[in-house]
Amino acid sequence: MKSPSDVAFSALQRTALHTASLLVPAAERQDWRCEWLSELWHVRSSYLRLDDTLSLQSQSEITWFCLGAFSDALCVRELATASGHPRSHMHGSAAQPLLWLAAILLLCFLITSLLPGVRAEREAAQFLVNPNALIISEAADHSWKPSIPAGLYLNWKYTHQRFFQDLAFYHVSRETAHAGSARILWNVARSSLNLFSLLGVPLKQAFDDNSGLPSVVLSNETWIRSFAGDPSVTGKVVRIGNSNARIAGVAPAAAWQLPGAPDVWLLQSDTQIATDLPYKTRGFLVAQLSERGLDAMQQSGDSISAHNLEDMLIDLSATPISAPVEGPWNLYGFALFLALVALPAVSSVSLGETQMTNHRISSREGLRRFCFLGGKFILVAGIGLFASFDIAYCYTASFSPAAECLQLVSCFAICLFGFRWALADQRHRCPVCLRRVTNPASVGLASRTFLGWNGTEMICMGGHTLLHVPALPTSWFSDQRWLYLDSSWQFLFADPGIY
């Protein structure tokens, strides 16, 4: 009577041998499996002669014996490959282009995963600015010039407003900062505390500070450029001008670029802003309009009127902050769609099948052929995705509309020409074994096209098919044709059964 542990070990050992036998070439699999199982019986018997019930140590030694079968199997496989015809087998085989495409895809993916710009684009599509947040400027000025005095902002903020639901302000100046031992010149935006909540953008690696030091938010570019993208940067103290501030987070890379191109935002209370900035210092005003404000803007064409500090009416224009972001997947889908639409313009989508032969390939062969073509298309589409990221973001570490445009164009080009290659490759593959036809031979003379036929003939090295490609398409021979070879041809091929 076997103990439960013996039954379990026996099952494990037999499973190991059966699994190892799957690695052995099919022709020898059964023989090796029988030999291993037979040997296992004798190994167990020899241990049982020493001990009636197999101890844990005996079981583990027997299991190690079984695991040795994996090494045997790999060795047998290697020997079988070496004694076969690996080169002739691989040359032009269906596996070859798929392996190459998979290798390129993997390489492109690895490069993509290392590029910070790709992450920036993903974030840009993920973190969209509140669509109701607008840059308010005096109508006479451009929105990217500071036009609203700090005093006017404070006045509006603390008086009842019809058009504005919430207001934030910032003023950009060039200041020297010290981060560790490094001395850096930054565009520092002294901004109100509610700026990021009004924009609706969450901070990355946000840090809750209770030390009383002012908070500073890094732009994504500054984080990468000055701190090498260090995720533990938040909580560190930097010196900006004459005062210390603690890094509270990193603004996500986004499609929006606030006017003034700030490198960091030093968040200050309104009281501090009133103290630090003279009343007439002009800065940028970010506002969330009330419903009434939105109605007024729609009626008067993106401009509203408000009272200034002298109680005079001034015209204000409002500019949206968020730029339209397509996002990597939308762009990719669009490029893929364009490539598929444009494909018939650059290549014939026919696979060279002709109805002039009685031979029909089996449904299994047809499915295999379709899967092979589909596999190439999928791999090319994958390469298009990752390679376009690599091309667009190899020189830039941040999101930019130019990089998006480059991504779209490169993805379209790679997919289009990749699909074209996949179709051309398919047309030169034997429908039976998917091996590339080879040994091209010119047949006929171009001057005798009227009476005969001229073109190129290629043959499948597996002995399945002969491909006729006309040099000059005629009304009676416009497309390539496959001639399926019957068994009487087999004696010509050294290794007809390779497939």
Q: Which residues bind other proteins (CB under 8 A)?
A: 34-35, 37-39, 41-43, 45-46, 64-72, 75-76, 79, 83
Residue whose CB is less far from other proteins, 45 or 210: 45
The answer to whether residues 129 and 201 touch, using CB atoms and an 8 Å cutoff, is yes
Q: How far is the CB of 72 from other proteins (least distance, A)?
A: 4
- Residue 369's identity, in one-letter code, is R
Residue whose CB is less far from other proteins, 78 or 230: 78
Q: What is the DSSP string of 116-154?
A: HHHHHHHHHHHSPPPTTEEEEEETTS-TTS--EEHHHHH
Q: How far is the CB of 39 from other proteins (least distance, A)?
A: 5
Q: Which of 97, 95, 93, 99 is nearest to 461 (CA)?
A: 93
Looking only at Cα atoms, what is the longest distance across the chain? Answer: 109
Cα separation, 298 vs 132, whole angstroms: 13
Q: How far is the CB of 38 from other proteins (least distance, A)?
A: 4
Residue whose CB is less far from other proteins, 34 or 182: 34
Residue whose CB is less far from other proteins, 43 or 342: 43
Q: How far is the CB of 36 from other proteins (least distance, A)?
A: 8
Q: Is 70 exposed, middle or buried (0-12, 13-18, 19+ CB in 10 A)?
A: middle
Cα separation, 204 vs 212, whole angstroms: 21
Q: How far is the CB of 27 from other proteins (least distance, A)?
A: 14
3 state DSSP class of 286: strand
Residue whose CB is less far from other proteins, 82 or 228: 82
Residue whose CB is less far from other proteins, 39 or 166: 39
Give one word for 166, left, alpha or beta, with left for phi > 0 and alpha for psi -120 to 50.
beta
Cα separation, 384 vs 333, whole angstroms: 11
Q: How far is the CB of 58 from other proteins (least distance, A)?
A: 14
List 190's β-bridge partners, or say none. 171, 266
Q: How far is the CB of 3 from other proteins (least distance, A)?
A: 21
| Phi, psi at 239, each rounded to 5° | -105, 120
Residue whose CB is less far from other proteins, 75 or 103: 75
Residue whose CB is less far from other proteins, 63 or 244: 63
Q: How far is the CB of 74 from other proteins (least distance, A)?
A: 8
Q: Which of 182, 220, 188, 191 is nearest to 204 (CA)?
A: 220
Q: How far is the CB of 41 from other proteins (least distance, A)?
A: 5
Cα separation, 31 vs 37, whole angstroms: 10
Residue whose CB is less far from other proteins, 45 or 488: 45
Residue whose CB is less far from other proteins, 36 or 477: 36
Cα separation, 331 vs 324, whole angstroms: 12
Q: How far is the CB of 25 from other proteins (least distance, A)?
A: 12
Q: Where in 231-381 does DSSP place strands (E)?
A: 237-240, 243-250, 264-268, 282-289, 303-307, 313-320
Q: Which of 74, 83, 84 is nearest to 32 (CA)?
A: 74
Q: What is the CB neighbour count within 10 angstroms for residue 366? A: 12
Residue whose CB is less far from other proteins, 64 or 279: 64
Q: How far is the CB of 5 from other proteins (least distance, A)?
A: 22
Cα separation, 126 vs 384, whole angstroms: 22
Q: What is the DSSP string of 58-90?
A: HHHHHHHHHHHHHHHHHHHHHHHHHHS-HHHHH
